Structure 1
Amino acid sequence: MESGKAIQALAALAQKTRLDVFRLLVKHEPEGLPAGEIARRIGIAHNTLSAHLAGLTRAGLTNAQRHSRSIVYRADLAEIRHLAAFLAEDCCGGESAACKPVMADRAGFPAKVAADV
């Protein structure tokens, strides 16, 4: 991952509503959630949500797919794995043996994300 892409992803998550939306979508993987349901659960207007989802999508953190009359949004877990790997790239001074215990813990990662980190 390039630094610019990482900065864009981190900037998108540096706003509370976008972070809340992203975390909600992670909880609902792999099915995702329709935009209306996201707005209801977060408690924001649909047009406000639309702007936040656009920011997350531009940053590569979410994707959308039309299902009948609604648009279902999903978190892009592969992109989060790339971001986590980028952030930990030189963990423990690049010594993979020293870093193994640190990365093996993967505290807080869901099993499907932790498998590839």
Structure 2
Amino acid sequence: MYSIDDKQYPCSTSLTMKYIGGKWKAVILIHLIQKKRYSELRKECKVITERTLSLQLKEMEEDGLVTRTVYTSKPPLRVEYELTEFGKTLIPLLNSIAEWGMETAKNNKRIQAVE
């Protein structure tokens, strides 16, 4: 059993899913393996609404997975996101998830790539 801020997690898997679970967190995290401006992230994650992207980024920042840096020195305002050292520990897991998805897509006739 694990506990964070009085919330209980019955096993290590549920603890992991607290950080990367949901529809979009793993997708956003894999895009942040390399530092990205917010606008770049929006372009790469077109299917995620702007509100959802912002909320997920805020949650992951609060969880210590990503850092948000605001540059105001010259207009226009620039915001960049990148994985923290803690967030970078997820890279092998994220790569494994992506690899599993590619293999599944190759081997399952029901799955079709769509552009």
TM-score by length of 1: 0.55
Change (3 A) 1:9 1:71: farther
Number of residues paired by the alignment? Answer: 81
Question: 1:17 is matched by which residue type in structure 2?
Answer: W
Change (3 A) 1:61 1:4: farther
Q: Name stretches of at least 5 consecutive residues in structure 2 with no aligned partner.
A: 5-11, 97-115
Match of 1:17 among 18, 21, 24: 24
Q: Distance in 2 between matches of 1:79 and 1:53?
A: 12
1:56-101 Cα shifts (integer Å, max 9, x gaps):
11111001101230210001134543x79xxxxxxxxxxxxxxxxx
SS in 2 for 1:16: coil
The 8 Å contact of residues 9 and 61 in structure 1, kept in 2 or not, is answered as no
Name the one with the larger helix percent: 1
Identity within the alignment, %: 15
Q: Name stretches of at least 5 consecutive residues in structure 1 with no aligned partner.
A: 85-105, 110-117
TM-score by length of 2: 0.56
Q: Tell me the C-alpha RMSD between the 2 structures.
A: 3.0
Q: Distance in 1 between matches of 2:16 and 2:67?
A: 13
1:46 corresponding residue in structure 2: 50
Name the one with the larger strand percent: 2
Between the two structures, name the one with larger relative contact order (CA 8 Å, sep ≥ 6). 1
SS in 2 for 1:51: helix
